[in-house]
Structure 1
């Protein structure tokens, strides 16, 4: 039976088994499906994803596991933070949590920086924006990707300069995330660089740019800066 069928049936146990596959592609897809069907009360699934996020030898599998824990919920992401830092699990005020994740963006382990970017995108705390903008320059493209996605959730014009720079990123996924975030922000400064992307060689980039510009509320075309 396929992983898709296991996910459709809600069979988390079979998907957890697939996290031990010899194929990195299978492990990555299993992690993605577990993120879709997992629940915070399902500790075996959280534990399996924690192991994948911290010990798998493939960076894309580790990244998928981090994202899956984020999808399951804040408590699961907190467990990952504790696993990677050895920190305690005491309940903290949201602003303290935001500061903790902001500090984690400077951690040595990229998986911890990825988890921090995801978490800051979820928290309704404006203090997390500037650390995320800084993470747009992270050396790891997986971190830059998640920082760009998180900046989009803030829809704050202060992120525009950093996101514009990522439109030339060497990693296509980062470019797409930056374009999406700029479209979400929607100011003239955010939309103007998307005009150049209408002729981009990446079809998905062209679609993102066209969609964002089509939704622009300004009646006149945005002039490039």
Structure 2
């Protein structure tokens, strides 16, 4: 049986990561998207349990104390975390799992799961990134300036990711991510069961 894979997607705010992941998850079977937990308030249109699990700081740190997070970090004055119990359950059931987390969290996951596939989404330019953040109209100018500053430090970390994808065209970028996922699914180390079956042997 093929071993399930863990995919970690990181990107600066405004790179279109959420849209890309929605496209990819809709097109690839047996791929689960892990919804992160956060202490930040929901933006207009965001739904609890769909976009994020919105928690109070007390609720968040209760989960930290119980060791329920695969990773967690403070980002832009709020906390974010990935529920490790859900991720493990899906992987054990044979589903590949995709995480949407920041660079800090990606490092934590890579240390815990060395064979996790890491993908970093880049904007086509700084000017385009600033335009996207401004047109969202969800934050004041000073918050946008902080996000741009954070974006530069995040891009500086992109060199250690397994793959870099420039989101200059959403369909092309989504196709690239899907190609990475299909390639990982075909890796020899992940498909040893198929080889043994073809040879008429049990692993």
Relative to the length of structure 2, the TM-score reads 0.27
* Larger RCO (CA within 8 A; separation ≥ 6): 2
Name the structure with the higher strand share. 2
